[in-house]
A and B are shown apart, each in its own frame.
Chain A
Amino acid sequence: MPYLLNLPSWIFLMVFFVIPLASVLALSVATGNPEIGYQYTGHVHEFVTAISTYQTQLIRSFWYGIASTVITLAISYPVAYWIAFYGGRNKSTYLFLMLLPFFVSFIIRTLAWEFILADQGLVLGHLKAWGMLPQSFHILSTSWAVIWGLTYNSLPYYVLPLYVAIERIDRRVVRAANDLYADTRHTFLRVILPLSAPGIFAGFLLVFVTNVGDYVNQQVLGGTGTYMIGSVIQDSFFTNQDYPMASALSSVLMLLLLVAIYLYARTFGTDTIQEYSA
């Protein structure tokens, strides 16, 4: 009888998680094309082809994911720290102000960066006119433009979990650390940073996983040689209509992300997460 109480969540998980996942995995071992249909033959050659043909894009996507996550963390941590510790009465206002740009659609924000970073645009145009940069310098159509696009679009997803984690830190431990002769730097490194580790992990999950699979930033801000695995999967699915390959690529990406997260969790530990989730 108690198991029946679980039924709604079971149904939800089945419909929105298990069945789609099973379909993707099943289709990845199928062979066929739209004309003759697909048979689930159990051949895994799609996986082999997927990894060997697209290993450059896979490695590149993971590199962009790591780089953008680290930069996002570097930018988000001071923001979250400041709002949590020095926000005072106006914490919610500051959070709202930080979130305000993200009410605008994702595509518009990315296109705005294309406009700002244009070769003769707002930023570069003036720097070039003052002779500080050579005329041929450009940010758009390079990997760093894509990484910056990924970073910018991930900011709220890192600031909010970090804010929540830092907010929970008991202020008295800072006083206790000072009583024990810790200066500001030591207080931060030995007390506050470890206590905010659950927030860092939560943000990492949100930001890293979504950025590795991203396909929009590359299209708007990138150039040749910045193609990501997300775009490959989209092409494979829509343009090529090669569903077994697209499913195989999705499954490979999912597996690699699981491995990456597992390695992260083992290195940095997740004990504190279970404590804080209580």
Chain B
Amino acid sequence: MNEHPKPPPVQGLEIDEALLRGLTEARSSRRGFLKASAGMVGLAPLLAACGVAGTAASGKKNKEFDWTAWWHKQQPTTELVFANWPYYIDTTSSGNKHPSLELFTKQTNINVSYKEVIQNNAPFYAQIAPVLQAGQSTGYDIIVITNGWQLTQLLENGWIVPLWMEKLPNFQKYASPSVKSPSYDPNSKYSVVWQSGFTGIGYNPKLTGREITSIDDLWDPKFKGHVGMMSDNTELGSVGMLKLGIDPATSTRDDWQKAADVLNQQKPNVRQYYDQSYITALQDGDTWISQAWSGDIYQANLKGYKDLKFVIPEQGVMYWHDNMLIPLHAANPLSALSWMNFYYTPKVAGMVADWVNYISPVPQAQDYIRNVIKDPTVADSPLVFPTPSEYSKAHDYYTFKNYADYSHWNDTFNPIIQS
């Protein structure tokens, strides 16, 4: 409509009008912006047609597979790739050899590649889930996962190979009754326990001034600002329920809300919700009393912090298990079974328990440690070999039925930690 003013002729140079317009106008014009947004809106129906597949469908398919035939077809191999948590197997003082694994190699000729790659259940699950969902091998033959949502998910999605029980006679013979058929894996169909632990209360009697006997002591206003609780919301929620006398394994959603309310009441007293570093705070004296794992207190005592004590409160402790599993498409499944069978003997379980100091799933390892290794500190410790009365106070965690269940638990307990 308007005539663009003609550019003044430059000596010897005629500037094309269109070029001048391009040089002087803004790069992104209104027209360009509208085109881009039209393009994006046009993509939206295309995007709506796509989606990300869920795991439920493939889970069903994997479970209907004929595993007995599959196991019979497997050939023995001479390798084993074992993924585990750090500091979770006997290690020589130089730090790079594992006597139990070397004994295994000597007896069976299977070379073990031991990888301490698991730091936490959730990130490790996030690492292997896409691989397993794509139907590929994770590269591991044995993985060690704590009972919890990630373990339930692995089982629900059908990503774990059911164990061939005939090849595990030692498990039937030597395993403690408390690990033979856990609530999250009835009849140990998919997993065998590696080590277990109690989540109780750790405290320093010199700082608290008195002995601790009850979960209510975590709520004692005298310890305000010096109480440590765990940031893992399954641990936190479970201790809240134990305080109210509710058994977490059979709890309902109303019970969870009651536990959340009582935990919110505790909040002004809590110094911090810790991950595994609660033990540093106890050692430094920043916290006087804290939720604690049995093995950590034992190892702190060995490191020189002899003041710290672990107590099983009168309301009970939570009893967790780290389990050995064989993921789908493992390259050496028979070697994995061979190791599991080898582990469930007093000798090997004793070698490992003597170093790891968590609860061993083989009770007869206690005699082995006392008589052969001659280590009465470990053999007599109730933190490694609990007595029956202590086992009677042990509670199992709530096993989540599906994602909605898990989501509800998170929505109930996360606000306490996150606010």
Least Cβ distance of A233 to chain B in Å? 11
Inter-chain residue pair count (beta carbon < 8 A): 96
Contact residues on A (Cβ < 8 Å of other chain), bracket: 35 or more
* CB closest residue in chain B, given A36: B54
Partner of B225, one of A41, A138, A220, A237: A138
Least Cβ distance of B264 to chain A in Å? 11
Which of these binds chain B: A98-106, A113-121, A195-203, A206-214? A113-121
**Which residues of chain B from 231 to 282 have any CB-CB distance to chain A below 8 Å in the complex?**
231, 233, 267, 270-273, 275, 277, 280
Contact residues on B (Cβ < 8 Å of other chain), bracket: 35 or more
Partner of B56, one of A35, A114, A120: A35
Are A222 and B272 within 8 A (Cβ)? yes
Are B272 and A141 within 8 A (Cβ)? yes
**Which residues of chain B from 46 to 85 have any CB-CB distance to chain A below 8 Å in the complex?**
47-48, 50-56
Least Cβ distance of A60 to chain B in Å? 10
Least Cβ distance of B101 to chain A in Å? 28
Partner of A40, one of B50, B233, B407, B414: B50
Question: Chain A residues near B18 (CB, 8 Å)?
Answer: none
Least Cβ distance of A253 to chain B in Å? 15
A251 adjacent to chain B (CB < 8 Å): no
Least Cβ distance of A3 to chain B in Å? 15
Are B272 and A34 within 8 A (Cβ)? no
**Which residues of chain A from 123 to 165 have any CB-CB distance to chain B below 8 Å in the complex?**
136, 138, 140-141
Least Cβ distance of A195 to chain B in Å? 29
Interfacial residues, chain B to chain A (CB-CB below 8 A) = 44, 47-48, 50-56, 122-123, 126, 153, 156, 225, 231, 233, 267, 270-273, 275, 277, 280, 284-286, 402-404, 407, 410, 414, 417-419
Can you spell out 29 A-B residue pairs with CB atoms less than 8 angstroms apart? Answer: A26-B47, A30-B51, A30-B52, A33-B407, A34-B153, A35-B55, A36-B54, A37-B54, A37-B55, A38-B51, A38-B54, A39-B51, A118-B284, A118-B285, A119-B285, A121-B284, A140-B286, A220-B277, A224-B270, A224-B271, A225-B419, A227-B417, A227-B418, A235-B418, A237-B126, A238-B123, A239-B410, A240-B414, A241-B403
* Extra inter-chain contacts (16) besides given A34-B153, A54-B418, A235-B414, CB under 8 Å: A26-B47, A32-B51, A32-B52, A35-B56, A35-B156, A38-B52, A40-B48, A57-B418, A57-B419, A120-B285, A140-B286, A224-B267, A224-B272, A231-B418, A238-B123, A240-B414
